[in-house]
Structure 1
Amino acid sequence: MVDQQWKQRLRCGAVLVGLVMSGAAAAAVEGNAALTSDYIWRGSSQSDGDPAAQAGVKLSTATGWYASAWGSGVSFKPDNGARSEFDLIAGWSAAVTPDWSVDVNLTRYLYPSTTVDLDWTELNGTVTWRQRAWLQVGVSDNALAGGHGGTYAQLGARLPLGEQWRVEGAVGHYWLDSAQADDYLHGQLSVVWRVHGPWELRVTGHDTDGAAKRLFPGNAGSRVEVALQTAF
């Protein structure tokens, strides 16, 4: 099992390295970082309600191909040894019309040093309108590393309020195989203030339905997240 896990990680890494090397001459580099009071993903806390530091880097080419890596501190209950999450992503994004853009990528979620296998892979697609609204769909045959298929969809919107403020909201639904868990619904609403330059302060309210609370006891439901974030 361990050898198979490492083979999967090496294959994913090889794809990313190949993508980067093929477009390195014309690659643009971007980065991001955040310090959040609670790492919340799709409605549930991934840090057991504790603060988390996060950072990522993205290399993209003029043809739209890109590769990125992102990491965050995590903590789960019951404790399975996970202390970090790394997301390796390879994909393509481009504007297809002046108003519409698309993004398709393969994401590999990695959790080193765990006592159980939490690694899994998801195929994602996002359609965005004028950077104001988006629809994301993710599909996996091993959703949440549970050994069953799942489909996630999120509909979101962004409303600028002048140059320094904006409001963002999203509603997501996770369709999970009944052998794993019930489908669940979550929502979030953020107010973002551009403090100075690329630095932003984000306050987000999250809520979920009862199915999420049963699936993630103690880590779903109503909660507030505060984050200081930047992009460079």
Structure 2
Amino acid sequence: MSSIQSIHRIRIATAALALAASSIAQAGTSGSASLTSDYVFRGVSQTNGDPALQGGIEYAHDSGFYAGVWGSNISWLSDIPGDISSSLELDGYLGYRGKVNDVLSYDVGALTYYYPGDFPDGFSRADTTEIYAGATVTPVENLSLGLKYSYAVTELFGYVGSEGSGYLDGSANWTFSPGWTLNAHYGKQWIEDNKDFEYSDWKLGVTKAFDNGFSIAAAYTGTDADDALYTNAFGNKIADDTVALTLTKAF
């Protein structure tokens, strides 16, 4: 699949998601569509520094159970030398959110990353399933602090023998003015049997939300990943410091 075909399919999928989310009257269903200058996941560019179109829909029941789907164009698999045509990421997840009190909430669930496409014989597919558990505290008004751990029950994104890998995600979000939120993140990726590829990542950004459901975000991200291991076939360092701009419409 060519990049143009992939982006065209994402445009169609994003439009369909937006239409479905805006037309569904059932309470508890929400969606979003985004355009980002660079799809950065855990500090690593998934699109070789190029833009991505993304969209998702989630249903959340009053009991706390929820389920959703999300998609984005990618290039990191097709950028690997060889006959690989995968240019799309599709995620499905389900979980349960609850509150202990007005200050402490928790979230547990499972998420599958699926990468459709054609792969050569013997290629270790990137499809990954993780289970996760997280907690969020709001010690003061307009400030939330989160900690989440994700555990891979399959091989992690194609690393051979990497079952049991983990990712720790710490976050802080401070709404310092109406509509304005400062976002900070620090993460650590452990990869079983592939220790050299382990790294830490961080992010500092700001988000401006508007009353019409639109928001715009700017974020600086960086990692301490080994450049030699995270340089693709085009000579680009995909885990290097970068700034990404994202426009989102929530429905």
**TM-score of Structure 1 vs Structure 2, range by shorter chain:** 0.7 to 0.9
Counterpart AA for 2:144: R
In the other structure, the counterpart of 2:148 is 136
In the other structure, the counterpart of 1:224 is 243
Secondary structure of 2:196's partner? coil
- Greater mean deviation of Cα atoms: 182-191 or 140-149: 140-149
Structure-1 separation of matches of 2:178 and 2:217: 15
Secondary structure of 1:38's partner? coil
- TM-score (norm: length of structure 1): 0.83
1:180: how far off?
5.7
Structure-2 separation of matches of 1:106 and 1:30: 19
Q: CA, structure 1 residues 179+44, in 2 after alignment: closer, same or farther (shift >3 Å)?
A: closer
Alignment partner of 1:126 is 2:145 = no
Contact map agreement 2:97 2:108 (CA 8 A) in 1: yes
Pick aligned residue for 1:89 from 81, 93, 96: 93
1:215: how far off?
3.5
Count of residue correspondences:
206
Structure-1 separation of matches of 2:65 and 2:32: 19
Q: CA, structure 1 residues 210+119, in 2 after alignment: closer, same or farther (shift >3 Å)?
A: closer
Pick aligned residue for 2:205 from 190, 203, 209: 190
Structure-1 separation of matches of 2:228 and 2:100: 41
**Which runs of at least 4 in structure 1 moved beyond 3 Å after TM superposition?**
178-182
Secondary structure of 2:126's partner? coil
1:132: how far off?
0.8
In the TM superposition, what are the counterparts of 1:48-197 in structure 2 within 5 Å? 48-76=48-76, 77-78=79-80, 80-115=84-119, 116=123, 117-130=125-138, 132-141=144-153, 142-147=155-160, 148=162, 149-179=164-194, 181-197=196-212
Contact map agreement 2:99 2:106 (CA 8 A) in 1: yes
Counterpart AA for 1:166: T
Contact map agreement 1:43 1:186 (CA 8 A) in 2: yes
Normalized per residue, which structure has more helix? 1
Q: CA RMSD in A?
A: 1.7
Structure 2 spans left out of the alignment, 5+ residues: 1-25, 232-236
In the other structure, the counterpart of 2:234 is none
Structure-1 separation of matches of 2:229 and 2:148: 22
Structure-2 separation of matches of 1:190 and 1:165: 11
- TM-score (norm: length of structure 2): 0.77
In the TM superposition, what are the counterparts of 1:203-222 in structure 2 within 5 Å? 203-211=218-226, 213-217=227-231, 218-222=237-241
Contact map agreement 1:75 1:83 (CA 8 A) in 2: yes
1:196: how far off?
4.5
Contact map agreement 2:216 2:248 (CA 8 A) in 1: yes
1:195: how far off?
4.0
Contact map agreement 1:27 1:62 (CA 8 A) in 2: no
